Structure 1
Amino acid sequence: MVAVRRATVPLLLAGALLLTGCSDDAPAAPAPAPVVTRTVTPTPTTASPTSPPPPSPSSSAAVTTAPPAAGKVVVLDPGHNGGNGSHPAEINRPVPAGRGQTKPCNTTGTSTNAGYPEHAFTFDVAQRVGKALAAKGIRVVYTRQDDTGVGPCVDQRAAIGNEARADAVVSIHADGSDSAGANGFHVAYSSPPLNAAQGEPSTRLAQTLRDTMRTSGFSPANYIGANGLSARTDLAGLNLSTRPVALVECGNMRNAAEAARMTSAEGRQQFAAAITAAIEAYLAS
């Protein structure tokens, strides 16, 4: 996501493949249908003279209600894609990035020093978050359905959130800084905002992600942003969004401790649990 991140990819065409640790990046996956509860009313019977009267409404069993966020729409954007590295011409193609800028369609992302790629990490975490949200009756839309394809381009990813009329769009990434001692997460948001959704709603989403990540045991970045937040003008997925949107860089894949956490299934579940809780808190606010 930041300028210091680089991934090593063969230069297959004359145009060099632009590598960045993160950027905002297949058509949305079909959203899981919310659980529908059906109430079955038994056939009334005539009570005998000795039968007790039916319970009053106040003494009957508690009525179940849908979770506060049920029916909401969340778009999850796992950064990059597994096939990007072998399609340099496609991902180097310039696309609109907002604020009069253009950017490459997509990038390869970064990796740990041992070679665990960002695209695999983000896809795994997004799937975990999506399953947890769907279980609460939230409609989940993904910007890509697998980890073997190419793209989609960053402008298309923003369009998916806009077309879904998402109540929240969360882009999931990991950073790749080689700065000595660089570690921690940060959450990026569009600033100055280009529309109303990028104002208070997106700022509140970013702050909720930051606060929940911190209370979940993750440390804010010590090398970028301030207090875990990073105002950005250069990210297409943020610039082009007309829905509340934020991008979370879960940590630095080049830091040994954070790389170990990201590489383990247990660690990825910890990241997913924090992001899930943040989204739920935002939707309920």
Structure 2
Amino acid sequence: MSNGSTPPASRRRARTFRPVPTALAVLAALGCAGCGAFGGGTASEGGSGPDRPAAAGQHTPKAGPDDGTAHKDDTAGKDGSRERGTAAGGGPLKGKVVVIDPGHNPTNRDHTTEIARQVDVGNARKECDTTGTSTDAGYAEADFTLDVARRARTLLRKEGVRVVFTQDGDKPYGPCVDERAEIGNTAHADAAISIHADGAGAGNRGFHVIRPGAVHAGGADTRKITGPSRDLADHIVGRFVAATGSAPANYINDGKGLDTRTDLGGLNLSRVPKVFLECGNMRDAQDAAHLTDPAWRQKAAAGIAEGLTGFLRR
């Protein structure tokens, strides 16, 4: 994932791996948190392991006919800014608002001074943003996150959900992590999710969901959202397993697929239920094969959308 902080030393040490639960075991442990899926279906603001900047020449995939980029409207934020959202249809979840935060930005690498600027995340100061990581072959995390986010947006719109993006490849860099949180707050989102891929070492594989810990410092106060964010995390884990068949990360929290952190500005500063999803590890060959496969990315988008809609229907 990569969004700007050094992981705790314990995360950088060699780990003793334990057996990873099977998909069925995880679903059973979570009570399946709604196992249906849509048909057809690093060190940073979230990950572990050092950043690997996106390779020069990598570009954001162009919008396809069903990637959710059509039918956009603009909604004014409280501060007068304009944030792009998609007009919702008349589905069963009409009136619900979801903010999707595609991690990083494909052109962050061209604005290293700007993204290195320190911002306040309540209990610390962190970089505005980072470049994100990439696969060994150079497929950039920022390209991956945008593609999956757009696919998820299409699925959510079919349910009537209004979707707001923090960025859609339309900003020169960023936005900064504090701004990403504020977009969700300003939209009064019913749920928010930040999509990433990790940059840990080879052999570390699988996905995990990060939920906010208790933070009450400076401008951060997560006390009202920790409970619903945990519920959201459970829904995402259950549906992501069911949709993708992927196992929870074998290097985070004993293979449970869940982690809690208090060092991520995107979570600390959120006033709406929010989680981060690390869809897999770009540095591991097995995970990279999935992350670079459009068919798998569609499954990932289905897992994300189904997890969000399950949470919204609760």
- Normalising by the smaller structure, the TM-score range is 0.7 to 0.9
Counterpart residue type for residue 144 of structure 1? Q
Counterpart residue type for residue 222 of structure 2? N
Q: Secondary structure at the match of 1:254?
A: coil
The whole-number CA distance in structure 2 between the counterparts of 1:88 and 1:72 is 36
The whole-number CA distance in structure 2 between the counterparts of 1:148 and 1:73 is 22
Is 1:186 aligned with 2:208?
Answer: yes
CA shift for structure 1 position 113: 0.5
Is 1:241 aligned with 2:270?
Answer: yes
Counterpart of 1:4?
49
The whole-number CA distance in structure 2 between the counterparts of 1:280 and 1:168 is 10
Is 1:218 aligned with 2:242?
Answer: no
Is 1:83 aligned with 2:111?
Answer: no
Counterpart of 1:33?
87
- The one-character-per-residue Cα deviations of 1:231-256 (angstroms, maximum 9, x if unpaired) are 10110000000000000000001111
Is 1:283 aligned with 2:307?
Answer: no
Counterpart of 2:37?
none
CA RMSD for the aligned pairs?
1.8
Alignment of 1:36-115 (within 5 A): 66-67=91-92, 69-99=93-123, 101-115=124-138
TM-score, length basis structure 2: 0.72
The whole-number CA distance in structure 1 between the counterparts of 2:189 and 2:82 is 12
The whole-number CA distance in structure 1 between the counterparts of 2:240 and 2:48 is 23
The whole-number CA distance in structure 1 between the counterparts of 2:184 and 2:301 is 20
The whole-number CA distance in structure 2 between the counterparts of 1:132 and 1:29 is 20
Counterpart residue type for residue 246 of structure 2? F
Match of 1:206 among 233, 251, 272: 233
Q: 1:90 to 1:243 in 2, by over 3 A?
A: same
Count, aligned residues: 237
Q: 1:28 to 1:177 in 2, by over 3 A?
A: farther
Q: Secondary structure at the match of 2:238?
A: helix
Is 1:263 aligned with 2:286?
Answer: no
Counterpart residue type for residue 80 of structure 1? H
CA contact 2:214–2:222 (8 Å) conserved in 1: no
Q: Secondary structure at the match of 2:253?
A: coil
Counterpart of 1:40?
none
The whole-number CA distance in structure 2 between the counterparts of 1:28 and 1:128 is 23
CA contact 1:82–1:147 (8 Å) conserved in 2: no
Counterpart residue type for residue 211 of structure 1? G
Match of 2:198 among 175, 200, 209: 175
Q: Secondary structure at the match of 1:30?
A: strand
Farther off after superposition, 193-202 or 86-95: 193-202
Instruction: Provide the identity percentage.
Output: 46
CA shift for structure 1 position 192: 2.1
Q: Secondary structure at the match of 1:114?
A: coil
CA shift for structure 1 position 145: 2.0
- The one-character-per-residue Cα deviations of 1:64-94 (angstroms, maximum 9, x if unpaired) are xx51x22100000000001111111100000
TM-score, length basis structure 1: 0.79
Alignment of 1:148-163 (within 5 A): 149-163=172-186
Q: Secondary structure at the match of 2:143?
A: helix
The whole-number CA distance in structure 1 between the counterparts of 2:267 and 2:84 is 23
The whole-number CA distance in structure 2 between the counterparts of 1:9 and 1:184 is 21
Q: Secondary structure at the match of 2:121?
A: strand
